[in-house]
A and B are shown apart, each in its own frame.
Chain A
Amino acid sequence: DGGITQSPKYLFRKEGQNVTLSCEQNLNHDAMYWYRQDPGQGLRLIYYSQIVNDFQKGDIAEGYSVSREKKESFPLTVTSAQKNPTAFYLCASRDGRDGSTSGANVLTFGAGSRLTVL
């Protein structure tokens, strides 16, 4: 089955530690995205990548870092600089770079990773 795999599903972190969330897709999608979701709220964009070896900041990039060395993988590192990291993190991918064709606009999401800072 094609899809997006996020791991780990649950992660606990002590203050001051960096953690990396994994996101792997086998959909052959060009673009990948990281969103953050807080309780009772919508999704906010952290980072996105339209092509390998390139990525852009989203609306709330401070305290996060990403890499895109392979088309299939877009890991997110939550650094100690992120002051309020406890949240549900969602990775998504999309086929098509400019989203101009029908069906190319839809983001496919993974199951999410829940990060809790102790």
Chain B
Amino acid sequence: GESVGLHLPTLSVQEGDNSIINCAYSNSASDYFIWYKQESGKGPQFIIDIRSNMDKRQGQRVTVLLNKTVKHLSLQIAATQPGDSAVYFCAEPGNQGGKLIFGQGTELSVKP
């Protein structure tokens, strides 16, 4: 079936530490994955995506890792800052129409 799940609903880290947010997906045929950040009361914002033919992709302070063997992806945030506090969602494509299937989300809290 189509589902995307997250291992942990909340994550608390110290400012300056690295954060790792995990996501499990079920559809082995998904050819891309997207990470979004949602701040309180706002719409989700695109962070980074990765295609299924890659196992790693880096952006500015963020890295996404994809392990197709165990259907797992993670978002790593380096030197976490208070502005990184938000809910993070992973998403994979639905079966048609370009729609995305979202996981439940992980709430990241950064302690000063």
The count of chain B contact residues (Cβ–Cβ below 8 Å) is 24
Q: Which residues of A are found within 8 Å of B32, using beta-carbon distances?
A: 105
On whether the beta carbons of B45 and A109 are closer than 8 Å, the reply is yes
On whether the beta carbons of B105 and A45 are closer than 8 Å, the reply is no
What range describes how many residues of A lie at the interface?
20 to 34
- The verdict on A48 contacting B44 (CB below 8 Å), with A43-B89, A106-B34 known, is no
Question: Is residue A50 within 8 Å, beta carbon to beta carbon, of the partner chain?
Answer: yes
Contact pattern, A 1-24, Cβ under 8 Å of B = 1, otherwise 0: 000101000000000000000000
Contact pattern, A 85-115, Cβ under 8 Å of B = 1, otherwise 0: 0000010101011110010111111111010
Q: Write 22 A-B pairs (CB below 8 A) sorted by A numbering.
A: A4-B43, A41-B105, A42-B89, A42-B104, A43-B100, A43-B102, A48-B98, A48-B99, A50-B98, A58-B99, A92-B43, A94-B98, A96-B98, A99-B93, A99-B98, A104-B98, A105-B32, A105-B93, A105-B98, A109-B36, A109-B43, A109-B45
Interface residues of B (CB under 8 A from A): 4, 9, 32, 34, 36, 41-46, 49, 51, 89, 93-94, 97-100, 102-105
